Amino acid sequence: MLGIAGLMIALEGFKGDSWFIKYFRFVLLLASIIPISLRVNLDLAKIYYSYCISSDKGITGTIARNSTIPEELGRI
């Protein structure tokens, strides 16, 4: 994130005295990218695990009705 913000400032050019303010502004704007992508990744993994549990041949008659099953199994 810091590297991407530095790259954006370098591509724009280090003009004037306010380039460090723009750097911190880019860092703040990019700070929301990592948590959002991590949350999407975790939700997709939960859906995949629920699908795997539903389609498992060793556990007959199993129906995954929600995506919190992997978290509940982790608590056991």
The model carries a pTM of 0.52
Identify the residue with better confidence: 72 or 76.
72
pLDDT band at 76 (very low <50, low <70, confident <90, very high): low
The number of angstroms, rounded, from the C-alpha of 23 to the middle of its chain's C-alpha atoms is 23
Report pLDDT digits (tens) over 13-68.
877 778 888 888 888 888 877 777 788 888 898 889 888 888 888 888 888 888 77
| pLDDT tens profile 54-74 | 888 888 888 888 877 777 777
Q: What are the residue boundaries of the structural domains of the chain, listed by start? A: 2-31, 42-75
C-beta of residue 68 within 8 angstroms of C-beta of residue 44: no
- 1, 2, 26, 33: which is closest to 12 by C-alpha? 26
Of 17, 28, 20, 33, nearest in space to 9 by CA: 20
